[in-house]
Amino acid sequence: MPLSYIKKSFILIAVLMGLALFAWRLFSTPPGAPPSGIADGPAAASCPVREPPLSFPVVGISQDWWESAGTIYYGIPARILFRLGNDPFNRPEALAKDAWNEFDRIGNIFNPFDPCSDLSIFNKTKRPGRITVSPDIIKILTASRQLWLESNGFFDPTAWRIKQLWMDAEKKQLLPKDIDIIAALASTGFDKIDMNDPSGLTVAKTEPEITLDFGGIVKGYAVDRVRGILEEAGVTAGLVQLGGEISAFGDNDGNPWRIGIQHPTIMNQIYGIVSHHGHIRISTSGNYRQALHIENQTFYHIFNPKTGYPVTDEILGVTTADFSGRVSSAVIDGAATAITVMGFSPGMAFAQQLGIEAMILYKTADGSIGAHYTPGFLEYYQR
Q: Give the pLDDT confidence of 199-258 residue by residue, as tens digits.
A: 889 999 999 999 999 999 999 999 999 999 999 999 999 999 999 999 999 999 999 999
Domain-embedded: residue 290: yes
Question: Are 302 and 353 in the same domain?
Answer: yes
Domain boundary pick from 161, 187, 205: 205
With a pLDDT cut of 90, the percent of the chain lying above it is 69
Domain-embedded: residue 3: no
Number of domains in the chain: 2
Question: Are 132 and 168 in the same domain?
Answer: yes
Question: Are 188 and 224 in the same domain?
Answer: no
Domain boundary pick from 205, 228, 256: 205
Long-range Cβ contacts of 373-382 (<8 Å, 24+ apart): 374/348, 376/323, 377/321, 380/274, 380/275, 380/276, 380/321, 380/323, 381/272, 381/273, 381/274, 381/275, 382/272, 382/273, 382/275
Question: Are 270 and 122 in the same domain?
Answer: no
Question: Are 156 and 139 in the same domain?
Answer: yes
Question: Are 308 and 374 in the same domain?
Answer: yes
**Is residue 15's pLDDT more than 50?**
no
Distance CA 199, CA 258 (A): 43
CATH number at residue 172: 1.10.3980.10
Domain-embedded: residue 1: no
Question: Are 372 and 275 in the same domain?
Answer: yes
pLDDT score, position 268: 82
Cβ-proximal residues to 252 (8 Å cutoff; 6+ apart), any chain? 8, 10, 237, 277
Domain-embedded: residue 337: yes
**Is residue 102's pLDDT more than 70?**
yes
Q: How far is CA 167 from CA 56, 76, 214, in A?
A: 32, 20, 17
Instruction: Print the domain residue range for 158.
Output: 118-205
Q: How far is CA 201 from CA 130, 140, 308, in A?
A: 9, 13, 31
Question: Are 295 and 348 in the same domain?
Answer: yes
Domain-embedded: residue 144: yes
Domain-embedded: residue 6: no
Q: Residue 43 burial by CB count (10 A; 0-12/13-18/19+): exposed, middle or buried?
A: exposed
286-344 pLDDT per residue, tens: 766 678 899 999 888 889 999 999 998 789 999 999 999 999 999 999 999 999 999 99
CATH number at residue 274: 3.10.520.10
Question: Are 191 and 261 in the same domain?
Answer: no
